[in-house]
């Protein structure tokens, strides 16, 4: 039998656990308003119940004390009479009292008055003079003859010492009073609960109204409308704080999505431009190779010319790939190899190299506020040299032959130095100055490079290097006509935040 009953007993445990989990799930599925209202009503009901029970207990104790006092008062007034005198005079007691005498010699009991309000008489036991209930002069409880009623009794010996007086009061009126109180308390409590439910539901709905609006706004945001905002109530509570926090979060999310879309658009344009830049020389290389394979280059001069074109396009592709790798390294946040660099030396070297390439131009390095002087800073010399070279090359390529170019260096203040590359060419339109640092940007949106055109990445590299050093770069107008690229660099660059979004940010030369 033990083996048969044990599994059945164990089977009830999972069943009880399942029922508990099911109840928990049902409670969690209820709306928060209903749960809050249920908790409120439960607390109010518990408070009313405890209050009613405590008051009923205190009321019973109070009424019992009153009954005891009445017994002692009437016992004191009757104690001066002897039993014989009481029999003759028949003392007038209240209708709820019972008075009996017990003869100490014979033990016989005699009634001198019964409670006429009770259906059953008190079941008073036979007492002796040495009974503790007599000697202690304290009240005690007795039952009813033929019933279940309870009485409170007091016994004492008369002055003659021949009889015991026993006074008794029924507890039924006392219990009836307590029960009546509980009945009215229950009715009042039920009415209070109903009123609390109605008022509580109204107040909870009013209190949850801002949360309902937040829920509606969240639903609109969930379908893609990121412009929605939560109405902030004119209060200083948790709901207002939550609304402000949600609005700040939504603003950040909207901004993040906008930045992501902008970066995706720039990435698509960057890939398209890079593909075009690579496709053009690849097409030329493939075309000349196809001509050579088909024997369409019959002479040595034709073959030499085709090989020259192939070499030229290969150099062009190599430069483009090298520039793309440079930008990728800069976007990858590689640490700078900082050392003390004299910007004046870099400017002088760039001017000398440019004069060698374009001997017909007037290219000079000078100071911003006078003769050129040593201008030292902590920087990556290789990258900073590339900045100066790219800026001078950009000015030389995009201005007519013979246009002078000045490279100016100097200190701005104790913490910053500046580099200006100034030309006197056609200049850059105001509305295009913010775009010249985008990758593959051209003032002329056509795909032709023109005479000596670059690949559109020179100023993009400049912008990335200057940002990596914590500096700034912009384009101003040269007095009298032309463009001036203004670079400002800190003397001692500080560590900057990672540029996660710059992998797709476009910057290029004009």
Q: What are the pLDDT digits (tens) for 358-380?
A: 888 888 998 888 888 888 888 88
Count each helix (H run) and each strand (E run) in the chain, helices first. 11, 12
The pLDDT of residue 273 is 67
pLDDT of 321 higher than 60: yes
Distance CA 455, CA 397 (A): 12
Distance CA 474, CA 131 (A): 115
pLDDT of 393 higher than 50: yes
Q: What are the pLDDT digits (tens) for 65-77?
A: 988 888 888 877 7
DSSP 229: -
First to last CA, the chain: 96
Altogether, the residues listed in the chain come to a count of: 510
The pLDDT of residue 276 is 65
Would the pTM count as exceeding 0.75? no
The pLDDT of residue 179 is 92
Distance CA 495, CA 510 (A): 30
Strands ordered across the beta sheet of 98-103: 109-113, 98-103, 163-170, 147-157, 140-144
Mean pLDDT, rounded, of the chain: 79
Across residues 47-74, what is the average pLDDT?
90
Lookup result for tokens 């405890």? 50
Give residue 348's Cα distance to chain centre.
57
DSSP 142: E
pLDDT of 83 higher than 60: no
**Short-list 71, 99, 228, 222, CA closest to 164:** 99
Say which residues have a Cβ less than 8 Å from residue 152's Cβ, sequence separation at least 6: 64, 67, 68, 71, 139, 140, 141, 168, 169, 171
The pLDDT of residue 81 is 59
In this structure, what token pair is assigned to residue 500?
Answer: 């996660």
**What stretch of H or E contains 193?**
helix 172-207
Confidence band for 447, pLDDT divided at 50, 70 and 90: very low
Distance CA 292, CA 287 (A): 9
pLDDT above 70: percentage of residues in the chain: 82
The pLDDT of residue 51 is 93
- Show the beta-strand stretches assigned E in 320-371: 338-342, 363-367
Distance CA 15, CA 344 (A): 86
Q: What are the pLDDT digits (tens) for 199-242?
A: 988 888 887 777 778 778 888 877 877 777 877 777 777 778 88
Give start and end residues of each alpha helix (H) in 79-171: 83-89, 132-135
If you average pLDDT over each of 30-44, 169-183, 242-256, 269-283, which comes out highest?
169-183
pLDDT of 271 higher than 70: yes
> How many CB atoms are closer than 10 A to CB 307?
14
Say which residues have a Cβ less than 8 Å from residue 160's Cβ, sequence separation at least 6: 82, 83
Confidence band for 194, pLDDT divided at 50, 70 and 90: very high
Confidence band for 193, pLDDT divided at 50, 70 and 90: very high
- The full DSSP string for 402-460 is T--EEEEEEEEETTEEEEEEEE-SS---GGGTTTTTBTT--SS-SS---SS---S-HHH
């Amino acid at each position: 039998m033990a083996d048969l009953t044990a599994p059945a007993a164990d089977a009830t445990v999972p069943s009880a656990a399942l029922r508990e989990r099911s109840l928990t799930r049902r409670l969690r599925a209820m709306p928060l308003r209903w749960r809050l209202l249920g908790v409120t009503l439960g607390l109010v009901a518990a408070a009313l119940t405890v209050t009613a029970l405590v008051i009923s207990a205190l009321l019973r104790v109070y009424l019992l004390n009153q009954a005891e006092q009445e017994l002692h008062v009437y016992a004191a007034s009757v104690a001066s009479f002897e039993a014989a005198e009481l029999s003759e005079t028949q003392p007038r007691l209240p209708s709820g009292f019972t008075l009996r005498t017990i003869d100490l010699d014979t033990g016989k009991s005699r009634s001198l008055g019964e409670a006429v309000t009770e259906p059953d008489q008190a079941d008073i036991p036979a007492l002796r003079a040495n009974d503790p209930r007599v000697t202690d002069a304290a009240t005690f409880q007795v039952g009813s003859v033929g019933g279940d009623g309870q009485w409170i009794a007091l016994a004492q010996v008369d002055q003659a010492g021949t009889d015991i007086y026993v006074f008794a009061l029924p507890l039924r009126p006392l219990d009836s009073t307590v029960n009546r109180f509980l009945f009215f308390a229950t009715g009042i409590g039920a009415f209070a609960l109903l009123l609390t439910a109605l008022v509580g539901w109204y107040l909870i709905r009013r209190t949850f109204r801002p949360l309902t609006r937040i829920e509606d706004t969240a639903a609109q945001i969930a379908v893609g409308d990121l412009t929605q905002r939560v109405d902030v109530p004119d209060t200083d509570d948790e709901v207002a704080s939550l609304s402000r926090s949600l609005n700040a979060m939504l603003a950040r999310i909207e901004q993040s999505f906008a930045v992501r879309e902008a970066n995706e658009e720039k990435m698509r344009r960057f890939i398209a431009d890079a593909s075009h830049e690579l496709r053009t020389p690849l097409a030329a290389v493939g075309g000349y190779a196809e001509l050579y394979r088909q024997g369409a280059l019959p002479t040595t001069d034709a073959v030499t010319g085709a090989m020259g074109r192939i070499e030229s396009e290969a150099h062009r592709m190599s430069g483009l790939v090298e520039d793309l790798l440079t930008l990728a390294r800069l976007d990858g946040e590689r640490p700078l190899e900082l050392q003390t660099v004299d910007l004046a030396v870099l400017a002088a070297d760039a001017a000398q190299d440019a004069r060698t390439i374009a001997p017909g131009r007037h290219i000079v390095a000078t100071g911003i506020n006078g003769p050129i002087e040593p201008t030292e800073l902590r920087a990556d010399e290789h990258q900073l040299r590339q900045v100066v070279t790219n800026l001078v090359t950009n000015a030389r390529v995009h201005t007519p032959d013979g246009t002078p170019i000045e490279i100016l260096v100097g200190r701005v203040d104790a913490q910053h130095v500046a580099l200006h590359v100034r030309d006197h060419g056609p200049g850059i339109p105001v509305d295009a100055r913010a775009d010249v640092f985008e990758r593959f940007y051209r003032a002329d949106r056509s795909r032709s490079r023109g005479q000596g055109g670059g690949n559109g990445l020179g100023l993009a590299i400049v912008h990335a290097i200057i940002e990596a050093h914590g500096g700034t770069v912009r384009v101003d107008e040269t007095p009298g006509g032309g463009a001036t690229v203004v670079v400002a660099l800190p003397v001692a660059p500080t560590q900057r935040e990672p540029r996660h979004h710059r992998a797709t940010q476009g910057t290029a030369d004009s």
